[in-house]
Amino acid sequence: MQVRFVRLLISAALLAASAWGADVTGTWKGEISGPNGSFALTYSFKQDGTKLTGTVTGPQGDPLQLEDGKVESGKIHFVVNVPMNGGMKIANEGEIKGDEEISLVAKNDQGEDFGPAITLKKQK
């Protein structure tokens, strides 16, 4: 009976660990191309369970806060409020690929893609 219970606990722990997936906490960098050339983006993520907080810094220089951040089942989601030109919300959704890469797609207020997916690489 005890052996069966221990096996059940171990199985539950393994399932819980795989459900959480990778922890994206840390600094991630990527480059986005646009009509005026390309520029670097630096993301600073802090994950606590499924909750995601942090900032993104681009050519504007000032970090912008991430809002409504979530990490679940190998997926990442957050919103960035960009204050320029009267303000704009950019929804970001992506797929976590192991411990070193995230493929991220950004969409504007109307749900239109900002361009191709951005590949973020974890910095060491």
Structure-block tokens of residue 57: 């810094």
State the residue range of the domain holding 73. Answer: 22-122
Q: How much is the pLDDT for 16?
A: 41
In a domain, 109, yes or no: yes
In a domain, 13, yes or no: no
pLDDT digits (tens, 9 = 90+) for 50-92: 999 999 998 888 999 999 999 999 999 999 998 877 888 999 9
**pLDDT of 20 over the 50 cut:** no
Q: What CATH number is attached to the domain comprising 64?
A: 2.40.128.120
In this prediction the pTM is: 0.79
DSSP state of 62: S
- Show the beta-strand stretches assigned E in the chain: 26-34, 37-48, 51-57, 64-72, 75-82, 88-97, 101-107, 118-122
In a domain, 77, yes or no: yes
In a domain, 12, yes or no: no
Q: For residues 37 and 28, what is the distance between their CA atoms, to the nearest angstrom?
A: 21
In a domain, 8, yes or no: no
Average pLDDT over residues 2-13: 42
- Is the separation of the CB atoms in 67 and 54 below 8 Å? no
Report the C-alpha dihedral over residues 24, 30, 34, 38, rounded to 10 degrees.
160
| Residues counted in the chain | 124
The widest CA-to-CA distance across the chain, in whole angstroms, is 67
Give the pLDDT band of residue 111 (cuts 50, 70, 90): confident
Structure-block tokens of residue 75: 């997926």
In a domain, 61, yes or no: yes
**What total number of domains does the chain contain?**
1
In a domain, 6, yes or no: no
Between 8 and 55, where is the model more confident? 55
In a domain, 26, yes or no: yes
